[in-house]
């Protein structure tokens, strides 16, 4: 009986969201599945413009997380999501400091050009 009630409630919620013109999502996209759970804001994968030299590319969204290495203005990154002032991204080429292409990590927004 409990399963039937839960299924009925889920079905009604799905019908209501579709009726209201909202997109119903049943599973995360491939890119969303690869993002860390710490993300609170997800957005389309887009290029980030780094505006500082020699700052930490961290393992998590905060200074308490260890650094993977340093990033520089010339480094190329694709941003995936954010948590507060911290952005999660992936390097699209080897970094100036030697981090491998496809290395992912977190950087503070003060090291990024303002996002539009």
70, 97 in Cβ contact below 8 A? Answer: yes
89, 61 in Cβ contact below 8 A? Answer: no
- Rounded to whole angstroms, how far apart are CA atoms 70 and 101? 14
Give this prediction's pTM: 0.69
What radius of gyration do the chain's Cα atoms show? Answer: 19
| 64-91: pLDDT as tens digits | 999 999 999 999 999 999 999 999 999 9
Tell me which residues of the chain have a pLDDT lower than 50: 1-33
pLDDT of 95: 96
pLDDT of 105: 97
- Rounded to whole angstroms, how far apart are CA atoms 20 and 56? 44
Q: Which domains does the chain have, with CATH numbers?
A: 29-111 (2.30.30)
């Amino acid at each position: 009986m409990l399963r039937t009630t839960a299924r009925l409630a889920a079905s009604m919620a799905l019908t209501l969201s579709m009726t209201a013109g909202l997109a119903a999502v049943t599973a995360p996209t491939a890119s969303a599945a690869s993002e860390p759970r710490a993300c609170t804001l997800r957005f389309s994968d887009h290029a980030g413009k780094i505006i500082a030299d020699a700052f930490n590319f961290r393992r998590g969204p905060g200074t308490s997380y260890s650094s993977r290495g340093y990033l520089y203005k010339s480094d190329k990154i694709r941003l995936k999501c954010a948590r507060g002032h911290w952005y999660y991204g992936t390097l699209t080429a080897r970094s100036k400091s030697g981090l491998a292409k496809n290395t992912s990590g977190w950087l503070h927004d003060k090291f990024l050009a303002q996002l539009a």
